[in-house]
Amino acid sequence: MTTHAYDHPKTILVIDDEPGIHRSLELLLMPDFSIHTALSGTEGLHKAGVISPDLILLDLVMPQMNGIEVLKRLTQAGDAIPVVIFTAYGSVDSAVQAIKLGAVNYIEKPFDGHKLKQIVRECLERGKSFQSLSSRQDIIGESPQIMKIWQMVEKYGPTDLPVLLQGETGTGKELFAKAIHEISKRQQEPLVPFDCSIIPETLFESEIFGYKKGAFTGADAHKPGQIYLADKGTVFLDEISNLSLQYQAKLLRVIQERQYIPLGATTAETIDVRFISSSNINLEEAIQRGAFRSDLYYRISGVCIEIPSLREREGDIEILVQYFIAKYATQFGKPNFKISDGAMELLISYPWPGNVRQLKHVMGAAVASTDRVILPEHLSSNVLQGVLVSLDEDSMVRFDLNISCNFTNHIDLKKLEKKIVAEFGSRIITEAKRRLSLNQTDLAEFLGMDPKTLRAKIRRKK
C-alpha cells in the first residue's frame, strides 16, 4: 500500500513545452501528488484558472509565451498560487527576475529529482514562521530601512540564489546572513562563516579547501576544509573584498563548477552549498579600480542587499539604546536603570561611524560606569566630541563675530579680549541649546560649566 504525503494529494500543474519533462515529473511525483500538465503558456494559464492548483512548476523558456509572461499574467490575475520555475543551469539572472515577479523558488535544468521533491514539499508545507527566526530577535529596529531589508530576506531567503550583503562595518551583515540561512531550505544544515579579512593568504587554500595527509610539511593528518563542513548548508564569505585577485579566481572556479580539490588530493570533490557573501566596500567601485573580479561579482550577487548605516535608520537609535540599557542593566544587576534626556539627545545626534557595534560598546560602558541614570558625562569622550565636531560638513558651525575697534583712541586689549571671549561663549551656548535640546543641568555638564554659572550667563543674555 502506498503512503501518501497528504490525505488528499496536492495538485501540481506543470507548464513546460517538453513532453519528456511531463513524463519525468509524473514518474517522480506521483502518486504523492496529483499532476496536471500544459504544453504552452496559454494552455497553462487556462488550466490554472480551471483547476486552481496548489503549486505550479513553470519553465521559463517556451515558444510564443515564455515563463516570465505567464508569471506576470498570474500575478495580474491575483492568483496566490506558489510558482517554482525551471531555468537553465547557471542562469541566475533569470531566476532573480522571476522571483522579483513573484516566484517562490527556482530549480536548474537538468534538475536533480531528490532536490526537486524537496523543494516541492517545502513550498507546499507550512515552513518555519518568519517572525520566530532567532536572528529576527537579534536585529533590533523598526525603521523603514530595516523593514525593507526584512522584506528582501523573506523573499529571497527560501531560494538558493547567491546573496551579497553590502554595508559599513558594524551594521549587522553577519546577523542578516544568519537570517537568510535560517529561512532557507538548508536551515537544518550548517552555516559556516569564513572571514576573508583575517585568514592569511598562505593559509587560504588549506582553510577553505582542506588538505590530505602529507600535502605539505606538518600535514600529519587529513583536515576537512570549510567548504566540506558546509556541504548541503551555507558558506558565509565574510568581507570577501579582502581576497587577493589570485584567490578570487580560485573561489570563482569553485562556485562555477561546484567542485574543489583539497591540497594534496588528485581528484575533485563535489559540493552542494549556497553562497552568501558580505563586503564593507562597494564591490562595483572595487571592480573599477581593478581590485575585484567582475566575473566573481556577478556569481556572488544574484541578489544584492544594501544594509543601511545606523545614522540612516530613522528612529532606531533610541530603540537600540533602550534595548542595550535593558540588556546590560540585567547583566550587571542594576534594576530600574534609566538614561537622561540630555544623554539620549547626544546619542541621537552622534553620527556613529562604527554603527550598531559601536553603540553596543558605548552603552555597555555607560551602564557599567554609573548606578541608576546615564548622564552625558557617562558617555565616551569620542561621542561627546563627535557631536560638537561633526564628521560631516552639514553640522559644522562657523561663528562670525562682529567686534568693532576704534584705532584713533587708546585700546584696552585685555578688556577687548574678554568681550570677544564672552561673545563667543554666548554664541556656543545658544547653538548648543538649539542643536542638542538639553536641559540646563545636562547642558552645563556637556559644556564643562557649573550649572549656576550657566544660568547666570543665560539670564544676562536675556
Tens-digit pLDDT profile for residues 83-121:
999 987 667 778 888 888 888 888 888 888 888 888 888
Helices (runs of H) and strands (runs of E) counted in the chain: 20, 16
Kindly report which listed range (135-139, 289-293, 317-321) carries the lowest average pLDDT score: 135-139
pLDDT level of residue 215 (50, 70, 90 thresholds): confident
Q: Which CATH number is 134-308's, of 3.30.420.40, 3.40.50.300, 3.40.1280.10, 3.90.1150.110?
A: 3.40.50.300
Please state which CATH number belongs to domain 312-391: 1.10.8.60
Query: Collapsing DSSP states into helix, strand and coil, what is residue 241?
Result: helix
**What are the residues facing 195 on neighbouring strands?**
238
- Whether the domain at 312-391 and the domain at 397-462 fall into the same CATH topology: no
Which whole number is the average pLDDT over 391-419?
63
Tens-digit pLDDT profile for residues 121-153:
888 864 444 555 666 677 888 899 999 999 899
What mean pLDDT is reported for the chain?
Answer: 84
Asked whether the beta carbons of 275 and 235 are under 8 A apart, the reply is: yes
The identity of residue 244, as a single letter, is: S
The DSSP letter of residue 13 is E
Q: Which residue has the higher pLDDT, 194 or 130?
A: 194
The verdict on domain 397-462 having CATH code 1.10.1740 is no
Tens-digit pLDDT profile for residues 235-261:
999 999 999 999 999 999 999 999 988
Domain range summary for the chain, segments of one domain joined by +: 10-124, 134-308, 312-391, 397-462
Residue 411 reports pLDDT greater than 60: yes
Dist CA 174 CA 387 (whole Å): 29
pLDDT score at 3: 42
**CB burial of residue 310 (10 Å; 0-12, 13-18, 19+):** buried
Residue 7 reports pLDDT greater than 60: no
Continuous H helices in 199-265: 204-209, 226-229, 245-257
pLDDT score at 305: 96
Dist CA 48 CA 57 (whole Å): 11
Q: DSSP labels for 142-175?
A: --HHHHHHHHHHHHHTTS---EEEE--TTS-HHH
What's the number of CA atoms in the CB half-sphere (13 Å) around residue 330? 5
pLDDT score at 1: 35
Topology of the domain comprising 10-124: Rossmann fold (3.40.50)
